[in-house]
Amino acid sequence: MQENVRELLSHIGENPDRQGLVDTPKRVSEAWQFLTRGYGQKVKDVINGAVFDADVHHMVIVKDIEIYSMCEHHLLPFFGRCHIGYIPNGKVIGVSKLARIADVFARRLQLQERLTNEIAGALMEELQPDGVGVVIEAKHLCMMMRGVEKQNSFMITSAMLGSFRDQLSTRTEFLQLLERDGTH
């Protein structure tokens, strides 16, 4: 990877041996390993047994999980907030694990649409809840820095599975709770 970065620097007209760029190939390689670490992670491993029996059948929501990912079309970042809700069916998951599951999929080259579906699908598979809802709101640098250069646009995607898809009242409750600002 480092040699490829050196070539890229030369190709754009830079001198990879210039003082400020000498260590850039190493830094870029390390950054990409971090930014794409999701390829080396499995959902079961990040859950690490933190699924617990619980007689809970009401909606559980974690809002405003920060996500950072890379657009697979331009290799530019997109970032924003992920909201996850589920209705347990006898099992709950450690709250931090929801953010970790989102990161497993966000830290890969992605489409926001696929990212949303992968998070929801993983939760359905691992918890087998009555339903799952995932909403992601993100800004895409491929739209902000290049192309149409629209600074204030953001994309919203949602995946509704189980009761979140089948029952309008469940879906509506989830979306209404996302609108609340969380202050008391």
The residues annotated with a catalytic role in the active site are 71-74, 112, 140, 142
The DSSP secondary-structure symbol of 183 reads: -
- Tokens 């930014």 found at: 35
The DSSP secondary-structure symbol of 83 reads: E
Query: What is the Rg, in whole angstroms, of the alpha carbon atoms belonging to the chain?
Result: 19
- Contact 124/167 with Cβ under 8 angstroms? no
Rounded CA separation 68/70 (Å): 7
- Contact 154/138 with Cβ under 8 angstroms? yes
| Strand 77-87, strand 131-140: pairing | antiparallel
Q: Which residues contact 97 (CB under 8 A, 6 or more apart)?
A: 46, 47, 48, 50
